[in-house]
């Protein structure tokens, strides 16, 4: 008898799982349920669309015929509201019930709202879906001034959209530096200067206390905790994600911030798996539970989950994730878990070249490279192979670092 697989979420994790399931199990019934109104698109590229640099077409990855060709039933505009692990069913908002033998939850997250007065006013945007990007682009093309909040990897996309659309911007940050948990002041200053050159002014020790609105409930001003006022008819907020765990309430599927899975992407239920941003997975390299928010990692988790749904134990998830920023004249890459670790080493080489490695128990667990990405393969190899670099951290950040420069066991890797 053929197996039935139900996947909730048609992001990169869900869609890549469907592709692998079809390859591994040609006879299976495969259904994907998504609350979005369109099939898989490239979430990484929606910022280029909002900047006005790319038309819509290349952002779409699969049209509906892709699913038909693989005999995958894609149900758009279908929000799953309930899971019954005992009955092996999920229920959608319209009451339709779907039975499964194996279930994959690839349900990602939703942008966190700012808990301040008027944060739901017209003109205030969050950024996760293609539809968000369309709204942002349309508004930004008419905007006069903008405020961006959220000093991280998505906030900088909003700041770059402001810059590309020639809108004067203020980027309000809570501390003294952009992405202060991964970059030092030296590294962040490279980003601050690049923003200033593009007419986006970083404002430090700031944030938002409340927004002011006009008679039509449109945002006019962001007021920061110091009482300073910033005119803005466009506001972009990117302060993090709330992972979509509401549908797990009332089940005994284990989760905290995300859904707990083992290295095979399986939850505490034998027939329920999870993949992508939503998972808190057992990171074999880090040696502890971790969560990734990156396209490549989500894709790989979808593929690994599918293999293990067909045959549990086939392949484990072991991955160094990467995330690049391409808005500036210099390249930028973060990898692994750059905000973790008990130690670090960094070096600055020029006004646009800088590196920092995060270290835990004498091993690299992540890093950020600005300006010169050439050592990334070496650092990722050392991280993946958990090479002990204790006592040699300064060698790692020599500008022309080679693996042979490391002494002893590390050098033989
Ligand atoms: C603007 C932007 C830029 C980015 N840039 C980069 C980058 O440069 N590099 C990088 O590595 N990563 C980047 N990312 C992050 C990357 O896109 C994500 O890590 C990746 O898309 C996660 O994929 P996923 O499939 O796990 O989740 P998602 O893509 O979030 O997909 C989850 C899907 O599940 C659906 N869903 C949720 N709950 C339900 C439910 N109950 N019923 C039905 N459907 C449901 C959601 O609507 C969504 O379609 C960026 C993200 C954004 C928003």
CATH homologous superfamily of 4-110+241-310 equals FAD/NAD(P)-binding domain (3.50.50.60)
Q: Which pLDDT belongs to residue 407?
A: 84
Tell me the fold of 124-237.
FAD/NAD(P)-binding domain (3.50.50)
Mean pLDDT of the chain: 96
Quote the pTM value.
0.97
Ligand 1, residue 46: give the atom nearest the CA: 1
Per-residue pLDDT tens digits for 151-165: 999 999 999 999 999
Q: Residues 336-369: pLDDT tens digits?
A: 999 999 999 999 999 999 999 999 999 999 999 9
Structure token digits, residue 71:
């005999």
In the chain, what percentage of residues exceed pLDDT 90? 98
Has domain 329-405 been given CATH number 3.30.390.30? yes
Same fold, 124-237 and 329-405: no
Distance, CA of 26 to CA of 19 (rounded, Å): 10
For the segment 119-145, the average pLDDT, to the nearest whole number, is 97
What's the pLDDT at 350?
96
Give residue 410's pLDDT band: very low, low, confident or very high (50, 70, 90).
Answer: low
Which own/partner contact pairs does 293-300 have at CB distance under 8 Å and 24+ positions apart? Answer: 293/109, 293/153, 293/241, 293/323, 294/321, 294/322, 294/323, 295/12, 295/43, 295/44, 296/321, 296/322, 297/321, 298/11, 298/12, 298/13, 298/16, 298/106, 298/108, 299/12, 299/13, 299/16, 300/16
Instruction: Give residue 391's pLDDT.
Output: 94
d(CA 400, CA 413): 18
pLDDT one-digit tens code per residue, 32-60:
999 999 999 999 999 999 999 999 999 99
pLDDT of residue 308: 98
For 307-337, b where at least 16 C-beta lie within 10 A, e where not — what string?
A: bbbbeeeeebbebbbbbebebbebbbbbbbb
Distance in angstroms (rounded) separating the CA atoms of residues 72 and 16: 12
pLDDT at position 372 over 80:
yes
pLDDT score at 1: 79
- Averaged pLDDT for residues 200-227: 98
Measured by CA distance, the residue closest to atom 29 of ligand 1 is 11
CA of 11 to the centre of ligand 1 (A): 6
Domain edges within the chain: 4-110+241-310, 124-237, 329-405
Residue 403 has a CB neighbour count (10 Å cut-off) of 16
Q: Ligand 1 test: best mutation among 8, 107, 111, 273, most atoms within 8 Å of CB?
A: 107
Confidence band for 411, pLDDT divided at 50, 70 and 90: very low
Q: Which residues line ligand 1 (CB under 6 A)?
A: 8-14, 33-36, 43-44, 46-47, 79-80, 106-108, 127-128, 154, 157, 244, 247, 276-277, 293-296, 298, 323-324
């Amino acid at each position: 008898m053929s197996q039935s697989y139900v996947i909730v979420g048609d992001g990169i994790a869900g869609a890549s799982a469907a592709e692998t399931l079809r390859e591994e199990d040609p006879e299976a019934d495969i259904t994907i349920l998504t609350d979005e109104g369109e099939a898989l698109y490239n979430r990484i590229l929606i910022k280029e669309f909002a900047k006005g640099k790319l038309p819509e077409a290349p952002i779409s990855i699969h049209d509906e015929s892709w699913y038909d060709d693989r005999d995958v039933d894609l149900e758009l505009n279908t929000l799953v509201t309930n899971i019954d692990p005992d009955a092996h069913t999920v229920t959608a908002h319209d009451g339709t019930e779907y039975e499964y033998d194996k279930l994959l939850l690839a349900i990602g997250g939703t942008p966190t709202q700012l808990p301040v007065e008027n944060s739901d006013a017209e003109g205030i945007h969050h950024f996760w879906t293609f539809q968000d990007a369309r709204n942002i682009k349309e508004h930004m093309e008419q905007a006069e001034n903008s405020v961006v909040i959220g000093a991280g990897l998505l906030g900088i996309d909003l700041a770059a959209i402001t810059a590309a659309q020639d809108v004067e911007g203020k980027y309000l940050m809570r501390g003294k530096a952009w992405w202060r948990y991964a970059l030092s002041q030296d590294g962040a200053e490279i980003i601050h200067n690049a923003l200033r050159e593009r007419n986006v002014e970083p404002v430090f020790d700031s944030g938002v206390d409340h927004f002011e609105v006009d008679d039509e409930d449109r945002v006019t001003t962001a007021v920061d905790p110091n009482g300073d006022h910033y005119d803005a008819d466009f506001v972009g907020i990117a302060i993090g994600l709330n992972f979509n765990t509401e549908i797990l309430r009332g089940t005994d599927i284990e989760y905290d911030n995300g859904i707990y899975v083992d290295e095979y992407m399986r939850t505490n239920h034998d027939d329920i798996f999870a993949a992508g941003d939503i998972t808190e997975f057992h990171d074999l390299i880090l040696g502890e539970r971790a969560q990734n928010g990156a396209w490549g990692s989500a894709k790989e988790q979808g593929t690994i989950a599918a293999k293990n749904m067909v045959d549990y134990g086939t392949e484990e998830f072991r991955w160094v994730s990467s995330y690049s920023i391409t808005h500036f004249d210099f390249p930028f890459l973060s990898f692994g878990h750059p905000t973790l670790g008990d130690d670090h080493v960094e070096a600055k080489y020029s006004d646009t070249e800088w590196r920092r490695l995060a270290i835990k128990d004498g091993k690299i667990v992540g890093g950020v490279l600005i300006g010169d990405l050439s050592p990334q393969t070496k650092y990722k190899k050392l991280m993946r192979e958990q090479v002990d670099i204790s006592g040699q951290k300064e060698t790692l950040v020599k500008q022309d670092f080679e693996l042979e420069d490391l002494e002893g066991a590390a050098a033989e890797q």
